[in-house]
Amino acid sequence: DGGITQSPKYLFRKEGQNVTLSCEQNLNHDAMYWYRQDPGQGLRLIYYSQIVNDFQKGDIAEGYSVSREKKESFPLTVTSAQKNPTAFYLCASSIVGRGQAKNIQYFGAGTRLSVL
Amino acid sequence: GDSVTQMEGPVTLSEEAFLTINCTYTATGYPSLFWYVQYPGEGLQLLLKATKADDKGSNKGFEATYRKETTSFHLEKGSVQVSDSAVYFCALSDPAETSGSRLTFGEGTQLTVNP
C-alpha cells in the first residue's frame, strides 16, 4: 500500500540533544512538508521541499533542520536550539505541477516528541 | 497573508444530532478550500474539498459549500455518529502556487459525539 511512514511514534529528547524524525513516502510525490501541531494552535509549517536537494523554510523554521537527498525521504532534525520542542510532528507529501490534485496533501501518522 | 478561522471548540453533540462547524477565510485571489479530519493519535485525512465558488464538497455524509461572498466554507452533517468524534481542520491552498502547495490551517475543532 502506498503511504507515508513516520518513525518513531514517540521520541524523547534530553536537554542539549539533537534528535531526528524520519519521514518516508512511496507515493512518488515530489513535494514533502513538515508541520508542528500544538494543542489549540492548528498546524504550523516548519519546512517544505518541492524537489530533491532543495527545501524552503516555513513559518517556524528556527531550531529545526532538514535534508532531501532522496525523493522518498525528508528527515527533520530538532536541534538543541529549539527551546520548546514538545509537540506532535506531522509529515505530508503532495504532487507538484498543474491541476487541483497538487493541492491535496497526504499525511503520516505523526511523531510525538517530549523533553525529558 | 492568508488565514483561516474556525469556530471555537470543543463541540459536544448527541448521536444523530446536526453538526455545523464554521470556517471563514482571508485570502487573495481564489483559494482552494479543504476540510481535514484527525482521529485520536493519527495524522490528518482529507475529508472533502472545493476548488471554486459555489462548489460543494461532500464525503461520508459531510458537506461544505464554497461561499465566496461570505468567504466561508462551513462543514455540516445531518446526523452525526460516535465514530465522527475527531478534530476537524479547515484549510486553504494559495492558487498562486505553481508547484507544490502550502496549506494554511485553522486552529482545529474538537468534536465529541456521545451515544
Q: Which residues of chain B lie closer than 8 angstroms to A4, CB-CB?
A: 43
The DSSP line for chain A is: ---EEEE-SEEEE-TT--EEEEEEE-S--SEEEEEEE-TTS-EEEEEEEEETTEEEE-SS-TTEEE--SBTTB--EEE-TT-S---EEEEEEEE--SSSGGGG--EE---EEEEE-
Please list the residues that pair with B111 across neighbouring strands: B11, B86
> Which of B4, B51, B99 is nearest residue A100 as measured by Cβ atoms?
B51
The total number of residues written for chain B in this structure: 115
- Residue pLDDT, tens place only, B53-107: 999 999 999 999 999 999 999 999 999 999 999 999 999 987 665 545 688 899 9
* Mean per-residue pLDDT over chain A, rounded: 91
pLDDT, residue B73, reads: 98
d(CA A22, CA A110): 10
**pLDDT score recorded for residue B29:** 77
Say whether residue A5 is in contact with chain B using an 8 A CB cutoff: no
pLDDT of residue A63: 96
Q: How far is CA B75 from the centre of its chain?
A: 6
pLDDT tens, position by position, A60-71: 999 999 999 999
Measure in Å the smallest separation between the Cα of B28 and chain A Cα atoms. Answer: 16
Average pLDDT over residues A5-21: 93
Decide if B28 touches A, using CB distance below 8 A: no
User: In the predicted model, is pLDDT for residue A16 greater than 80?
Assistant: yes
Please report where in the chains the cell 504532487 appears, as a residue. A95
Percent of chain A topping pLDDT 90: 73
Contacts of A44 in chain B (CB under 8 A): 105
Q: What is the mean pLDDT of residues A5-23?
A: 93
B34 part of contact set with chain A, CB < 8 Å = yes
Is residue B37 predicted with pLDDT exceeding 50?
A: yes
Q: What pLDDT digit, counting tens, does each position of A68-111 carry?
A: 999 999 999 999 989 899 999 999 999 876 665 667 899 999 99
From CA A4, how far away is CA B31, in angstroms rounded? 26
Residue B71: per-residue pLDDT? 95
Asked if A42 and B105 come within 8 Å (Cβ–Cβ), the reply is yes
Q: Identify the pLDDT of residue B67.
A: 96
Separation between Cα atoms, residue A102 and residue B92, nearest integer Å: 13
B89 CB neighbours in chain A (<8 A) are: 42-43
Our CA-based measurement puts residue B97 at a distance from the nearest CA of chain A, in whole angstroms, of 9
The Cα A94–Cα A98 span in angstroms is 12
The chain A residue lying nearest B92, using CA atoms, is: A103
CB contact under 8 A, B49 and A110: no
Measured in degrees and rounded to the nearest 5, phi and psi for residue B66 equal -75, 110
Share of chain B above pLDDT 90, in %: 74
